[in-house]
Chains A and B, each alone.
Chain A
């Protein structure tokens, strides 16, 4: 009896080794209930195509998800596929936690169908493709069509027009303002405004001009910064110095401010709150005095852990999630801009709100996508420094010149 039991156990173990499924662990970090559901649907479709692979999805709460993933990676816990974000990619690479996907990409036909931005973002760090983006966050001008029509105001095409239009709306006594300012997390807003005054921004390095100087040192940057503060003082709710995303959205949908700069993932909530009967629309960002608008772009995607025991299977999953059909479905629901050329041919992205973004993508002469230094160690501390300094300038506790000097000092040594 005992021998039989040992025999059966051995048989079972051997069977599991030879015929068992490969288990993959996937960790997402921009967690939301609806997105997790969608990912689970994709995963079950993937599992149906690959019966020998089972995927476990880990979805930590959004607020602490990046931290959790960092800890999992740094302690070599089981992770095969992971969500990689613009501000986390460099630390993952520094700590040698991401697999170089170059070899895998060679045999993947769809890779050549991707838009340029996808190739650029994938190789953002060390010119090496460490992940496959699933989408982009690019700002555009949201405007309340109903309010503009009522006032007979045209959609602003330049930053100056935006300032004048926003000021026209502002009447603080009746709690009416023009532009939706962003408090914490504002850096993309401030940089876009300021850089678009400076004619010779180097797209490769973002914070540098073509002659290698930090852009904060240029006289145009100072003029831009002063105008930016003027826009706040003349046309933004004073309270918006502390506004996050939800207050911004609320300000826009409630009609407190008719203009808002935001990413495409803000569209669904605006449609939900305003309805889709044309109360709002999305236009390209206004052009700066330099004749160009330098656009930052945020990105996120899927990568493979360097220490994964099943890199091939993990790559299969990443590849599956990046295929055209899945990416289109994901983008429609997630609100990010899709990664492939053929995805942009989909009708959904060629109508309505998406026209604002499409116009910017189709006009590289005026809309230049720049690389900002997510990959420098100064970036994290700089975010808080920038936010605090900007607020100090608004509160009159620091001069614009002092703030720009402090920011220039940070980046002079970094490049």
Chain B
């Protein structure tokens, strides 16, 4: 740490950081800050002649809107259920792909395919799979005799959000599989050998060697995915557009609707501010609980 105290080094480091900081400030913080300001303005693209501050009107309208609370509740279901299953299935997949077998390269490539497709396209694809009249899923279920009449997966409020979550899980599993597989492959073999000499069972090796070693990856990936899933309206937008009757909206799809359908950037930004607040609180709490400072220590 000694060299950092040198004045010239500090200047050098500072000088090196400035360009990227300036880049981030201009391209990320300025629009984000502008968005937060907009949340307090009467900012409708329909008429920009009066964009004055409107005394929290956007937030008041939002908090009076029952659809907002539906979307808020849905957001938590959407994020936690998607994340949980994406993580478990991704982990399982990574464990399966870790051991060498014939054709592993091709299978790995195929498994990662969903991650390479745009969320919107995936939404459109699943929208047809879940179609309540001519969808392939209904067809399969009817052929094997599980149901006698088609289920309105996207038209029945009881199924709409779960259907979108199912598509989202399918989409997100490869991400965890890729990241965890990479982490698993980095666990030194000698740790396992040492554990074996100590008489550890496979389960013990998993919990006491594998998990602690890949803990930083688990924390980082779940944290990042939480943020991404919450800010990922593509699938819902394409599959249900928040319907029927607003029952499958999450906050980010509600935000898109406010902007795309009603051109109300003020209201859209207000939803955005709520999302930022939730994510900030979540990140702080998550890092505190997981003790991220000590991750990777043995």
Contacts and interface: CB of A to CB of B under 8 A. Distances in A.
Interface of A: 63, 67, 70, 74, 90-91, 94-95, 172-173, 175, 183-184, 237-242, 247, 250-251, 254, 256, 377, 380-381, 383-384, 387-389, 391-392, 394-395, 397
Contact of B48 (A74, A247, A387): A74
21 contacts: A74-B48, A90-B46, A91-B46, A94-B48, A95-B48, A172-B149, A184-B241, A239-B133, A241-B152, A241-B155, A241-B243, A242-B241, A377-B46, A381-B261, A381-B264, A383-B261, A384-B262, A387-B243, A388-B67, A388-B245, A389-B245
B246 A377 contact: no
Q: Classify chain B's interface size.
A: 20 to 34
Contact of B261 (A94, A380, A397): A380
Contacts of A173: 149
A377 B261 contact: no
Residue among B48, B131, B133, B241 with the most chain A CB within 10 A?
A: B133
A389 B120 CA distance: 26
B240 interface: yes
Given A95-B49, A242-B243, A256-B134, A384 B257 contact: yes
A5 to B, nearest CB: 34
Given A91-B45, A384-B262, 11 more contacts: A70-B45, A74-B48, A91-B263, A175-B133, A241-B152, A251-B134, A254-B134, A383-B261, A388-B67, A388-B243, A395-B245
Given A95-B48, A381-B264, A237 B244 contact: no
A95 B47 contact: yes
A240 B131 CA distance: 9
B154 to A, nearest CB: 5
B131 A395 contact: no
Residue among B45, B240, B260, B261 with the most chain A CB within 10 A?
A: B45
B45 A74 contact: yes
A85 to B, nearest CB: 13
A391 B245 contact: yes
Contacts of B67: 388
Interface string B224-262: 000000000000000011011110000000000101111
Nearest to B239: A242
Nearest to A63: B120
Interface string B254-284: 0001011111100000000000000000000
Given A251-B133, A391-B244, A380 B262 contact: yes
Contacts of B120: 63
A174 to B, nearest CB: 10
A173 B149 CA distance: 7
B155 A238 contact: yes
B157 A395 contact: yes
Contacts of B131: 239, 247
A242 B155 contact: yes
A175 B264 CA distance: 41
Contacts, number: 95
B240 A242 contact: yes
A392 B245 contact: yes
Given A380-B261, A383-B261, A388-B67, A94 B243 contact: no
A94 B245 contact: no
A256 B261 contact: no
B262 A67 contact: no
A74 B49 CA distance: 11
Given A242-B243, A250-B134, A380 B48 contact: no
B223 to A, nearest CB: 29
- Contact residues of A: prevailing secondary structure: helix
A-B pairs, 10 with minimum CB distance: A239-B132, A391-B245, A380-B262, A94-B47, A242-B155, A391-B244, A241-B155, A392-B245, A239-B152, A239-B155
B216 interface: no
B44 interface: yes
B150 interface: yes
A293 B45 CA distance: 33
A90 B131 CA distance: 36
Contact of A237 (B133, B160, B240): B133
A175 B147 CA distance: 14
A389 B66 CA distance: 13
Contacts of A91: 45-47, 263
Contacts of A254: 134
B132 A94 contact: no
Interface string B147-164: 001101011010010000
A239 B46 contact: no
A19 B133 CA distance: 63
A377 B44 contact: yes
Given A91-B47, A183-B155, A241 B244 contact: yes
Given A94-B49, A256-B134, A380-B46, A242 B263 contact: no
Nearest to A67: B260
B240 A94 contact: no
Contacts of B261: 380-381, 383-384
Contacts of A256: 133-134
Interface string B198-241: 00000000000000000000000000000000000000000011
Given A94-B47, A183-B155, A237 B132 contact: yes
Contacts of A377: 44, 46-47
Contacts of B45: 70, 74, 91, 95
Contacts of A392: 245
Contacts of B150: 175, 239
B286 to A, nearest CB: 32
Contacts of B244: 183, 241-242, 391, 394-395
A135 to B, nearest CB: 24
Interface in B95-149: 120, 131-134, 149
A240 B132 CA distance: 8
